[in-house]
Amino acid sequence: MSAIKLDRVVKSWGSARAVDEVTLEAEEGSLLVLLGPSGCGKSTTLRLIAGLEQPDSGTVMINGADVTHLTPAQRRIAMVFQSYALFPHLSVAENIIFGLRVRGVSRAERDARLKRVADIVGLAQLLDRKPSQLSGGQRQRVALGRSIIAEARVCLMDEPLSNLDAKLRHEMRTEIRALQQRLGMTMVYVTHDQTEAMTMADRVVLMRDGRIEQIGTPEELYGRPATAFTARFVGTPPMNLITRGGKLIGIRPEHIRMVSQDGHPARVTSVEHLGADSIVLCELDGQPILVRQDGFSKTSPGDGIRLAWKAGDEHQFSQTTGDRLVAAMSEIKAVATG
């Protein structure tokens, strides 16, 4: 049974559809990521699941029950937002158990749950501190602990890591994923960051202008993008899209090699050394194309080079619709609906 199911959900603001016929499912105990550029409808979709917004049409199901017209409290789900508010005058422990106190949970039960949760989020040594005495990542963990202690089976997170620096973001996404798996929570996690989606998700729902562009595992979206939009959004640096012989083809920078013979003649425009690898911007038939090379690239701007890739690494898209060619659409639909 799916823990969360949205069926043709629509939500408009005035004449603009923020969420346009969205149908999706999250399996119990899985992590579903809603991914997409700013303004594509991720937060609105999450708020519809939470019950903070009412859909104009369509249904929202949680654990097999139609909750479309239930209040957020009746849905019994936990939520963490980008701007999590902690009470500055309360200790870490009091912040975490605040919701339990409001609900009248007994002291003994509160203490037992607090101990468990503090260990999970790694705050056992910091329970007496005030939020002002914590780092950003530690504060984020307090917010996380507060949602976990509710022991809701469904947890919704809206860009919970975007206020953190890169290193902490990396640590926290690993922790959240481990926690979700350990507790067997069903999680819907919103982000615009494709790296977070790729590293955390069981399945990714890529949204664009209120609609679902593609649903699949990270591997499916990366390896078999259904549209040119998905191809560019998933993977970094993005897939190259170039026109050759009247066709729109896509090749990932990591699938292009520099060769000494044969290949396509190109010229180096600029080189970015990242340490472990280098991103070389080239020009091929007057079109920009990125090439990823392991290690420190020995090429320099102005160099004439030759580029090659395997036929199997070429993706073809319609120049008019951007839809993937070659693969039958029925195959993509099968992946999209699981």
Closer residue to Mg ion (CB): 31 or 256: 31
**Cα-flanking dihedrals φ and ψ of residue 190, to 5°?**
-95, 135
Closer residue to Mg ion (CB): 191 or 278: 191
Among 2, 30, 44, 230, contact with ligand ADP (rule: CB under 6 A): 44
Sign of CA dihedral 273, 277, 281, 284: positive
Question: Minimum distance from CB of 190 to Mg ion (Å)?
Answer: 6
Closer residue to ligand ADP (CB): 24 or 291: 24
Q: Which of 236, 139, 135 is nearest to 193 (CA)?
A: 236
Helix (H) or strand (E) holding 113: helix 107-120
What is the total count of residues that contact ligand ADP (CB under 6 A)?
10
Question: Minimum distance from CB of 65 to ligand ADP (Å)?
Answer: 25
Helices (H), 26-91: 42-50, 72-75
Helix (H) or strand (E) holding 174: helix 166-183
- Burial string for 121-154 (b: 16+ CB within 10 Å, else e) reads bebeebbeeebeebeebbbbbbbbbbbbbbebbb
Among 18, 142, 215, 258, contact with ligand ADP (rule: CB under 6 A): 18
Among 4, 35, 40, 282, contact with ligand ADP (rule: CB under 6 A): 40
Alpha carbon of 33 to those of 80, 154, 199, 206: distances in Å?
14, 13, 10, 8
- In the complex, which residue's CB is closest to Mg ion? 43
Among 39, 184, 223, 301, contact with ligand ADP (rule: CB under 6 A): 39
Note whether 144 and 80 are within 8 A (CB). yes
Closer residue to ligand ADP (CB): 31 or 40: 40
Query: Does position 43 bind Mg ion by CB under 5 A?
Result: yes
13 binds, options ligand ADP, Mg ion, none, Cβ within 5 to 8 A by partner type: ligand ADP
Give me the residues that bind Mg ion (CB under 5 A), please. 43
Residues that bind ligand ADP (CB under 6 A): 13, 18, 36, 38-44
